[in-house]
Structure 1
Amino acid sequence: MLHIKGRKSSSQGIHPISFGLLSICLVLVSCFGHGSQELSEAERSAFGEYVNQLDSAVTGAWFDRMGVSADADSVLAYLRREVPRNGLDTTAFFVPEIAKDLEIVHQLLFDSVGMSINEVLPRLNAHLSKAYIRYATGQRYGFMKPRVFNHMDPKVGNPGIFARVFDYDPALPDTSVAAKKMTESDRLAFLVSSAPDTYIYKALLREMDKTTNADKRHQLAVNMERCRWQIEHPKDVKRQILVNIPAQQLWAIDVDSVLDMRICCGAVPTKTPLLHSAISYMQVNPEWVIPQNIVKTEVVHHAGDSAYFARNRYSVIDKESGDTLNVASVGANALLSGKLRISQKGGVGNSLGRIVFRSQNDFSIYLHDTNNRSAFQRDRRTLSHGCVRVQKPFELASFLLSDVDEWTLESLRISMDIPPVTDRGREWLHKHADAPHPYRLISYHAVKPHVPLYILYYTTFPNPKTGAIDYWPDLYGFDKVISKELKWISEGSSSR
């Protein structure tokens, strides 16, 4: 053991932290400046001077019996590496300040910078603590509150009420967990483990590592923030359906295959909400019960217009009696009363198309076919009232019914007016050629087990079919909201 003859403190002995600081300084000098542990008399005297100046009240989470904990340097190294990898600004996590103060302590530069040890150590402790808690908590919960998305769009006619577009109730950040872990021996491991563990985050992080374009790095940083929110994220498992709004694309993922197709999603005033649910059943040739918000914004303007109702195959039914009313006698006030149900008959021309895929959610949002097939040829397909129209409805139904027999699929084809592919199907169609349309060999079919459905919003995303990171436009302006709320994105991540 190395012994030092320095000036004693004014107390009975050297404070434990003071002794630890002296010890670690000796180790650092031996490692970073000398080939042996022999120190000059001047060096011994210098150590003693600083140790004697240390106030016994100076304590902190980052000092131990050996002085400044080695974890301080480890945390600094981790933040220096990982903060830029996430597209964030190191100054938001006090990295320059921590590095400067650690250098002062390690090199005993107190006199050179005109600061006492009692100034530097408390400041170093505060910055390390703030950086640790801020980064660990941010990685675990997000650096912004996603609930802001439910306060974006005022409802028409009710400016004080906002339309919900985010069907999650994410947990609020809990800094106490990181604060407690900061004082424990595994604090560095906890900091590392705070990073999101989703396959999307890991893919975006790998893309960030090899991307130098500032605008792409900014876009990646925004989308990595989405991965941190405490919500249900897609898992890298089989049998799930992903709908990504900016991509205007759907992927039905199985263990050894991926079915992809275009979608049409909600227009900007009637955004498709982001949610996690599961497809539980499908209806073939469904009746469309027109939501009251569409009645208010569209149908009511045609009150009493029999030609409009006939052209669209709309019926007006009294909810209490079940009677179908003469549309010519139904005025605007009656349509808006909530006592009537306006519905569109199933079959050809129905707005839901020939099949709808139902899932439980608070928005009455579902996937469905459409009678407007040409819409899928558009580049921008934000045109629905919020539901998601799918380009390949039969293929999606086949994916959901992967374990059924061929006749079930053939019955589905016939019910959707798709030409049969089997002799049995062709024979059935020939025998029933004069039967009324639509054919209803299948009207309902359960999906067992239910298939997870995620409606997402990522403007950069690992394509489930190709594995490549794709970039898409910010159709709803959600990226701009994150950029505004997340003030810690590095300026070097954007050319703005």
Structure 2
Amino acid sequence: MKGRIGIICLFAILLGSCREHVPNPNTELTLSYYDDLRQREDHITSFKVKEALDSMIRNDNDSMLVDRRVKGYYLRHQPFVWINRKGVDSRADTLLAHLQEVDSIGFSEAKFRIPLIRRDLRRMRSLDFDKRNTASKVAARLEYNLTKAYLRYVCGQRFGFVNPTDVFNRLDLKKTDSQAKIYRTLFDLKMDHPDRKFFQQALCAVQPDSLPAFLNSVSPSDPYYLRLRRIYLDKTMRQRYGAKRLMINMERCRWRLSDYPHKHRRFVLVNIPAYHLWAVDGEKSLTMRVASGSLETKTPLLSSYVYCMDVNPQWIIPKSIVKKSIAHRLSTGYFRSKHYFIRERATGRDIPVSQCNRAMLESGDYLVIQEGGEGNALGRIIFRFNNDFSIYLHDTSSRGVFRQEDRGVSHGCVRVEHPYELAMFLLGDGQNKMAEKIAYSMQADVSPLGKKAEELTDEQRAVADTLKRNMLVGRVKVEPKVPIFITYFTLWPSAGGILQRYDDVYGYDQVMAVWLANYWKETTL
């Protein structure tokens, strides 16, 4: 009993001594005491990350489509894509592994923020934070830069880094007034463009089980792209063909068009810089020189289907040519020498030249038409395909153009060197009788056709009596229709498959280089 009393007394003495000699240091604490704890460098909060993201957006001057999409996503305070409560996981490594490819296609790693991403990944994973590089700031930089690099890469590989519809269709001014500028359509190839749905799909794909497959799916698979890339990776070949030229033509292969020549066994392809046409039927091919639109009246890039051939076509002369070259020469003698006649547009009635004046021709209410046959500007045959520009392939009465190196001479149509051979290609096998009719019609003097007896000259009367009218043919259907592609490549294989360099006749390579400079290495510039 005495022992218990002694222990109680001792405990009471100790408690008394604690109260007397060790005062409680926490009795005067306020909320400000915890500020340092909330601002520790290795502490991540959603608020601080979003605050850092807002600062990055304000200081980001990039203004391309992808950049605007990235900014818009985070300004709407959408969920984080790459970071979570555990930091950054293996998805960032998956993306970096694919981004290694940008160097192999001539692009700068810095343009895809790869060095910044690597640096901040090391900081995050080694917990290397300080007051300037807090965990929240590092997390924000990783979130923003990973998203920006990812969308730049997948959008560029899937649709191209240059949008040709926007770029080329704002080059040549057609006309302007006080309200608007109207440009010529130079690029009319149907292709895919990135839209909101694609960006949503891309962001939703940033999951461990779907990211690798999505990154693989956007890589270009065009056979010609793969060939050019292999050449680019060979230093000797890259120097031979030129790094810029290779990269520009690789970019053309990234555009996901609605149709491609390699999807067809039989097709016609015109490459404007080469001034050449290729007609391909499996292993067989036909090639010939062509003349295309001049620098002022460029031939539009397009694809369509050749559906018919017209033998000895009339030429309805464009209004621009009438105003520039014909109206001021209005006379019966001049029109007779050129085989021109005038037709009222509204009624379809032919009008004597003596009853017309210059103002009538320039009004557009009257058509100037050149008769079909020998001397017609369209030659003896025309190959028609649907398009919005009244563009077609045709023969020509000016055969000397094919001896020129620079064959950019037309108002937009494509003149072909060997029209009969092209007609036979389009006609196909087993059409011997029609082939004979086309050959006869292209050689015959058809000047008497369509004229009244009293309008014929003595020479035309003599010709009319000898014409084999049962051998004459006008329109010939092409069945099945044959795909045609009017393209623009300054590197393109010859008939023997050897890659050839061609001049940038319309300056399109220069235009593309300006846009691609946003991604190129400094050594490429």
Instruction: Give the TM-score category using the shorter length.
Output: 0.7 to 0.9
**Partner SS for 1:102:** helix
Contact 2:311 2:442 in 1 (8 A): yes
Residue in structure 2 matching 1:216, options 214, 233, 242: 242
Aligned to 1:120: 138
CA distance in 2, matches of 1:160, 1:440: 51
Task: Tell me if the contact between 1:101 and 1:124 (Cα under 8 Å) persists in the aligned partners.
Answer: yes
Q: How does 1:187-226 map to 2 (within 5 A)?
A: 187-210=211-234, 211-213=237-239, 216-226=242-252
Q: 2:42 aligns with which of 21, 35, 53?
A: 53
Contact between 1:204 and 1:462, CA under 8 Å: does it hold in 2?
no
**Pairwise CA distance, 1:371:** 0.7
Greater gyration radius: 2
- 1:447 Cα offset (Å): 0.6
Partner of 1:460: 491
Distance 1:181 1:292, change over 3 A: same
**Cα distance, 1:440 vs structure 2:** 5.2
Q: CA deviation at 1:107?
A: 4.8
Q: Distance in 1 between matches of 2:133 and 2:176?
A: 62
Contact 2:82 2:143 in 1 (8 A): yes
One-letter amino acid of the structure 2 residue matched with residue 290 of structure 1: I
Provide the secondary structure at the position in 1 that maps to 2:158: helix
Shift of 1:340: 1.5
Distance 2:419 2:141 in 1: 62
Deviation at 1:352, TM superposition (A): 0.7
Q: CA deviation at 1:96?
A: 1.3
Q: How far, CA to CA, are the matches of 2:184 and 2:401 in structure 1?
A: 26
Alignment of 1:129 onto 2:129: no
Residue pair 2:91, 2:208 contacting (<8 A) in 1 also: no
Deviation of residue 56 (structure 1)? 5.3
Q: Which residue of 1 aligns with 2:18?
A: none
CA distance in 2: counterparts of 1:300 and 1:433, whole angstroms: 32
Match of residue 396 from structure 2: 370
Query: Residue in 1 aligned with 2:274?
Result: 247
Alignment of 1:352-371 (within 5 A): 352-371=378-397
Relative to structure 1, is the Cα distance of residues 318 and 235 closer, same or farther in structure 2, using a 3 angstrom cutoff? closer
Partner letter of residue 488 of structure 1? N
- Note closer, same or farther for the CA distance 1:52–1:166 as it changes in structure 2 (3 Å cut): closer
Alpha-carbon deviation of 1:229? Answer: 3.0
Q: Distance in 1 between matches of 2:347 and 2:468?
A: 28
Contact 1:317 1:342 in 2 (8 A): yes
Query: In structure 2, what is the equivalent of residue 177 of structure 1?
Result: 201
**Counterpart in the other structure of 2:36:** none
Contact 1:462–1:469 (CA under 8 A) maintained in structure 2:
yes
1:344 aligns with 2:352: no
Shift of 1:277: 0.7
SS at match of 1:374: helix
Matched, 1:447 2:478: yes
Checking the alignment, whether the CA contact within 8 Å between 1:88 and 1:490 is kept in structure 2 is: yes
Residue in 1 that maps onto 2:107: 88
**What displacement does 1:117 show?**
3.2
- Whether contact under 8 Å (1:415, 1:439) holds in the other structure is no
The SS at the match of 2:183 is strand
Identify the match of residue 504 of structure 2 among 471, 474, 486.
474
- Deviation, 1:343, is 0.9
Match of 1:294 in 2: 321
Distance in 2, Cα, partners of 1:214 & 1:104: 43
Question: One-letter code of the match for 1:394?
Answer: Y
Pair 1:141-2:162 in alignment = no
Q: 1:318, CA displacement in angstroms?
A: 2.1
The equivalent of 1:7 in structure 2 is: none
Q: Corresponding residue for 2:65?
A: none
The equivalent of 2:447 in structure 1 is none
Residue 433 of structure 1 and its aligned partner are, at CA, apart by 10
Structure 2 unaligned blocks of 5 or more: 1-39, 50-78, 445-462
CA contact (8 A) 2:157 2:218 kept: yes
Q: Counterparts in 2 of 1:203-352, with a 5 A limit?
A: 203-210=227-234, 211-213=237-239, 216-236=242-262, 237-303=264-330, 305-352=331-378
In the aligned structure 1, how far is the partner of 2:41 from the partner of 2:116? 25
One-letter amino acid of the counterpart of residue 504, structure 2: D
Q: Give the deviation of 1:118 after TM superposition.
A: 3.1
Aligned to 1:396: 422
* Cα 1:466/1:103, change in 2 over 3 Å: farther
The answer to whether the 8 Å contact 2:41/2:129 transfers is no
Distance 1:487 1:247 in 2: 25
Contact kept? 1:414, 1:439, Cα under 8 Å:
no
Partners in 1 of 2:93 and 2:393 — Cα distance?
52
Q: Once the 2 structures are TM-superposed, how far is the Cα of residue 155 of structure 1 from its aligned partner?
A: 2.2
2:447 pairs with 1:416: no
Q: Relative to 1, partners in 2 of residues 1:416 and 1:253: Cα closer, same or farther, differing over 3 Å? A: same
Provide the residue aligned with 2:7 in structure 1: none
The structural deviation recorded for 1:60 is: 4.5
Q: Cα distance 1:249–1:372, how it changes in 2: closer, same or farther (>3 A)? A: same
- Counterpart-to-counterpart distance in 2, 1:110 and 1:468: 56
Residues 103-160 of structure 1: CA deviation (Å, up to 9, x unaligned):
334455446x973433323312221111111110122222233222122112268693
Which amino acid is 2:163 matched to? Answer: K
Contact in 1 for aligned 2:175/2:183 (Cα 8 Å): no
The alignment's TM-score, normalised by the length of structure 1, stands at 0.79
Structure 1 alignment gaps of length 5 or more: 1-50, 419-431
Number of aligned residue pairs? 428
> What are the superposed Cα offsets for residues 74-122 of structure 1, whole Å, 9 maximum, x if unpaired?
3212212x212332222111111112223334455446x9734333233
Compute the displacement of 1:402 (Å).
0.9
Q: Find the aligned partners of 2:469 and 2:278 in 1 and give their Cα distance.
A: 29
For residues 27-77 of structure 1, the C-alpha deviation after alignment (integer angstroms, 9 at most, x for no partner) is xxxxxxxxxxxxxxxxxxxxxxxx993425469433578753223223212
For 2:124 and 2:290, how far apart are their aligned partners in 1? Answer: 59
> In the alignment, residue 151 of structure 2 is paired with which amino acid?
I
Shift of the 306–438 alpha-carbon distance from structure 1 to 2, 3 Å rule, reads farther
- For the pair 1:76 / 2:58, whether they are aligned, the reply is no
TM-score (ref. length: structure 2): 0.75
CA spacing shift, 1:492–1:130, aligned 2, 3 Å = same
* Cα deviations by residue, 1:419-446 (Å, 9 ceiling, x for unpaired): xxxxxxxxxxxxx996249995221110
Aligned to 1:386: 412
Supply the AA of the counterpart residue of 2:382: V
Q: 1:279-311: per-residue Cα shift (whole Å, max 9, x none)?
A: 0000111111112222222222322x2232122
CA distance, structure 2, for counterparts of residue 378 and residue 409 of structure 1? 30
- How many angstroms apart in 2 are the aligned matches of 1:441 and 1:353? 16
